[in-house]
Amino acid sequence: MQVENIPQIYQQEDRQADDLFIYDYKMTEDVVKSKVQLSMNMFSFLQVGKKQVHFADASVMVNKEQSLLIRQGNWLWTELLDNDDIYYCKLFFFSESRLKAFLEKHSSLEYNQGNEQSFFIIENDAYIASFLGTLSQMAAMPESYSTQMLTIKFEEIMTYLLAKYGEQFERYLYSLISKESSPFRKTVEGNACSNLKLEEFAFLCNMSLSSFKRKFISEFGESPGKWLQDKRLQKAYDLLLQGERTASDIYLDFGYGNLSNFSAAFKTKFGINPSDLHRNS
């Protein structure tokens, strides 16, 4: 099953990544345990249908009476239609920098990252329904105004939920802030898009190859080969999208011995050939 990179798959290719982003998500078929790589924290304001999310240590199911705030990470999503044969939710993504700015302005707690939690359940009410209605009306605004309004609406919903749930919500927000990386994680992440082999990563970490693999799975939750391939292919995608380099220029940089292997892996992950992406950029 292909991994969905969210919110990237919803954003226009010719736009820079936004640190606040809204997307109306609708379906007419059930989706069961879709693999999702969520790169931003996200509100999922459910309007019609049911949603279940599997995390590393828990799972949660909500219906249209509830919404979710979900931390960035790799999750499994199940989305089920309602009796109206449709599933609809409004997704509101925000970056860590936006979150930090909000907490600096509104938090009453001393800085405390708190215990890591994957999700926060929000009980829908009349205020939230009205808030979502105003988000829908923003679609008709010129882009310059809607961008300014989105900043205001982010402050509004965060302030409202802070008032509604108090310290419980405030501590959850702190738990969303990335913790300082361990030396092992820094070494891996700092070299993720190089063409280093696993043996070379293990050497840099002063570990045997077998110890490195065990530590990697413990730290990142998946095998080093799969994780590194995903990171490298995503970086290659971003480079090709800029239109300045071709697959022939970059495949060696990402650890592939020949162009055909790179192209095959790229198409498996993204569904298109790297040459097609370069042509369309």
- Provide the mean pLDDT of the chain: 85
pLDDT of residue 113: 52
Encode pLDDT of 202-224 as tens digits. 888 888 999 999 989 888 888 99
Sorting pLDDT into bands at 50, 70 and 90, what band is 278? low
- Residue 231: pLDDT above 80? yes
Query: Which of 32, 68, 29, 63 is closest to 49 using CA atoms?
Result: 63
- Residue 13: pLDDT above 60? no
Q: How far apart are CA 242 and CA 240, in angstroms?
A: 5
Across the strands, what pairs with 123? 66
Interior angle at CA 146, CA 141 and CA 152, nearest 5: 135
Cβ(89)–Cβ(25) below 8 Å: yes
pLDDT of residue 30: 82
Across the strands, what pairs with 79? 31, 51
Percent share of the chain, pLDDT over 90: 28
Start-to-end CA span in the chain (Å): 26
- Residue 232: pLDDT above 50? yes
Domains of the chain: 4-175 (2.60.120.810), 183-280 (1.10.10.60)
Which H or E run contains 240? Answer: helix 224-241
pLDDT of residue 210: 93
Q: How far apart are CA 66 and CA 209, in angstroms?
A: 46
CB-based burial label for 53 (10 Å; 0-12, 13-18, 19+): buried
Sorting pLDDT into bands at 50, 70 and 90, what band is 181? low
For the chain, the 3-state helix, strand and coil shares in percent, each to the nearest 5, are 45, 20, 30
pLDDT of residue 151: 92
Q: How far, rounded to the nearest angstrom, does the alpha carbon of residue 280 sit from its chain's CA centroid?
A: 25
Average pLDDT for 159-165: 96
φ/ψ bin of 33: left (φ > 0), alpha (ψ from -120 to 50), beta (otherwise): left
Q: How far apart are CA 166 and CA 163, in angstroms?
A: 5
Average pLDDT for 261-266: 88
Encode pLDDT of 64-123 as tens digits. 899 999 998 888 888 888 776 788 899 999 999 999 999 989 887 765 555 677 899 999
Sorting pLDDT into bands at 50, 70 and 90, what band is 270? confident
- Residue 279: pLDDT above 80? no
- Residue 142: pLDDT above 80? no
Average pLDDT for 182-191: 83
